[in-house]
Structure 1
């Protein structure tokens, strides 16, 4: 059965400045976070129940629609109920409530009716108590027939609480809201209540791959830059496109013989793309057109490498063309090894393996220490050596399996 979502957005926040749904979180609003949770759990339609439509909420709804979400605004309970077919599975999200993706996805996969619960502990005192042991986390899974029946019985009376009580009386499946994940379920009644959610979203945006550049270089750069940009609502795509433009300025400089500025510009472009990716993944699984943007940046770096190789060939001989070709050959071999790694279930790649970004970051310091010829030789050795060592490790892992079969 299809999954839809019903988000309540009717209560004012404690500051008196607006609705709970418009409380700020990571540069956007709480209702956008709730809608993103529902969409990632599989909801193909999101109904927002709100009696009055302040400007901030209208802008949030428009942003969601611009991003492709099927968002419908219902001004009354009767209007909201009419939006759902009796056979629909409905993810009900109470006003101001947040939870982690893993818990919401587990709830969406449960049989109806189902409730997300948390232990009856002091930190959950604002959530509604179910019994002596548990409180409702503000998320429920019901079917359209139950929603229609409840509305027929009560009219516009407190629909959410009534649905909750009926589900509890029917021994609904209980999903532990804080069993796993980074975000503990809570109800946000004021801006500072969302601080833990914002920290978790920002931390999500700092996960940019598993190589040493991502872990030890980009992470240091992203932390002080990406969070303020996201908090100001800066879009990631202009930053990403700017990084590609900066990357292609490098071969333009190299064409006029300015290899040093080109060598510095490539890491700057790589860092800018990492920031863009971090800002984008705070709210989405991945930056749009990520593969195309990465390919464009790496094409710029390869163009610089080709120009550098041409310079070395002119001054030192054709042998340097073969040395330079070892760099893309090694990287291509590592890329082709990924399906083998997946088939062998070899786990996470070693952090030290060569990558395009790793070679780009090594280019300037190596050039300072060793000059252009030995820099190209060192990068070729690193790329080709990474491939040979990785391939040998995979072969050693595969041989016993082949022998056993």
Structure 2
């Protein structure tokens, strides 16, 4: 997507109800981007001056300002929003700042994110029209003794920066993609999917591989894994099924980056379905070999508790150790390799129960 659409996506994720774009000239490409942003259910206005911007702003609104050419992440914007002061500027030490960054006093330079009182825009609007809106807003905020929030040390590694050159934008875009995947709250996504995604996603993006193609390949591999489990090779089948879940995870991540929400939801559901089918196949395989009902019973219990845990484990409250559909397969895998699949199903069922209990208690604490 274009950079301005990515910026809008960050603001919408932070709770923005209105986006105002300060632009000197409307191009066909920009008009297309604005139309796509508006489809996300947010009001989008374009202005050319502080006077027009002041007319669009509600006096009681909470204003977040992003610099032209800024690349950042949701976590960085959230830091500014958490501050309780009226005005807040995210800053970096002036000595190590990139060339071209706005200086805001105190030997600091603006890092591209600010939270301001809407009155600052009205103050700029009262000045001559040839004043630059961004620079003047910063000076007004600095004079009002805005709080300085130091940019976190790991933010630049995550791609944070203000850029205007295509090659720099591409490099920082790769860093943002890696950070988005690494920031997932599931331990499977963070420690298993993220390293794979950091290697594969840049190549998939460069070749413009559609997200449904990546997900479809993962589904195909997963189907092969299910066949192997049914054929009597549970350990090998689980390994192949986990690879299929990784492929679907890459497809889901691609869809999320491209704002293909419906495709992302379908692939997320496919991961859960693949995990459920693999667990059911393991239970059936145990029954076929040993004639014991305990295998299917444990498999059914695990699937039920896993569904309940997913329903109760809201993303914003999710803890890193909680289970996820592909994580169940990884927990069962060592037992399958040792030939004690039933014990693996039992252990994973306990894991699902503990996850469910923790999710319920977390929800109760929020009420």
Contact 1:88–1:144 (Cα < 8 Å) also in 2: yes
Aligned to 1:93: 66
Contact 2:158–2:176 (Cα < 8 Å) also in 1: yes
- Distance in 2 (alpha carbons) for counterparts of 1:240 and 1:68: 27
- Select the structure with the greater relative contact order (CA < 8 A; seq sep ≥ 6): 1
Aligned to 1:10: none
Counterparts of 1:102-121 in structure 2, within 5 Å, are 102-110=75-83, 111-121=85-95
- How far 1:134 sits from its partner (Å)? 1.0
Aligned to 1:293: 270
Give TM-score, length-normalised by structure 2: 0.72
Contact 2:88–2:147 (Cα < 8 Å) also in 1: yes
| Partner SS, residue 137 of structure 2 | helix
- How far 1:48 sits from its partner (Å)? 1.6
| Partner SS, residue 97 of structure 2 | helix
Structure having the higher Rg: 1
Contact 1:89–1:143 (Cα < 8 Å) also in 2: yes
- Say whether 1:124 aligns with 2:98: yes
Structure 2 portions without partners, runs of 5+: 358-367
- Distance in 2 (alpha carbons) for counterparts of 1:41 and 1:341: 21
**What is the RMSD computed on CA atoms of the aligned residues?**
4.6
- Say whether 1:188 aligns with 2:163: yes
Aligned to 1:381: 343
Counterparts of 1:179-258 in structure 2, within 5 Å, are 181=155, 182-183=157-158, 185-194=160-169, 195-206=171-182, 211=187, 215-216=191-192, 218-219=193-194, 221-231=196-206, 234=209, 236=211, 239-240=214-215, 243-244=218-219, 247=222
- Distance in 1 (alpha carbons) for counterparts of 2:168 and 2:326: 43
- How far 1:127 sits from its partner (Å)? 0.8
| Partner SS, residue 270 of structure 1 | helix
Aligned to 2:298: 326
For 1:275, which of 250, 255, 266 is the aligned residue?
A: 250
- Say whether 1:170 aligns with 2:144: yes
Aligned to 2:364: none
- How far 1:361 sits from its partner (Å)? 6.1
For 1:151, which of 101, 125, 130 is the aligned residue?
A: 125
- How far 1:180 sits from its partner (Å)? 5.9
Contact 1:114–1:141 (Cα < 8 Å) also in 2: yes
- Distance in 2 (alpha carbons) for counterparts of 1:69 and 1:278: 23
- Structure 1, 87-96 or 181-190: larger mean CA deviation: 181-190
Q: Deviations over 1:308-348 (max 9, x none)?
A: 356x2xxx5532x3234334435656787899999xx9x75
- Distance in 1 (alpha carbons) for counterparts of 2:199 and 2:7: 26
Contact 2:21–2:46 (Cα < 8 Å) also in 1: yes
| Partner SS, residue 126 of structure 1 | coil
Structure 1 portions without partners, runs of 5+: 1-27, 396-405
- Distance in 2 (alpha carbons) for counterparts of 1:259 and 1:73: 62
Q: Deviations over 1:166-216 (max 9, x none)?
A: 111111222222366454753213123332453143243245665568635
Cα gap change, 1:117 to 1:220, in 2 (>3 Å): closer
- How far 1:295 sits from its partner (Å)? 3.0
- Residue correspondences, number: 346
- How far 1:290 sits from its partner (Å)? 6.6
Cα gap change, 1:348 to 1:104, in 2 (>3 Å): closer
Aligned to 1:142: 116
- Distance in 1 (alpha carbons) for counterparts of 2:322 and 2:137: 50
Contact 2:302–2:345 (Cα < 8 Å) also in 1: yes
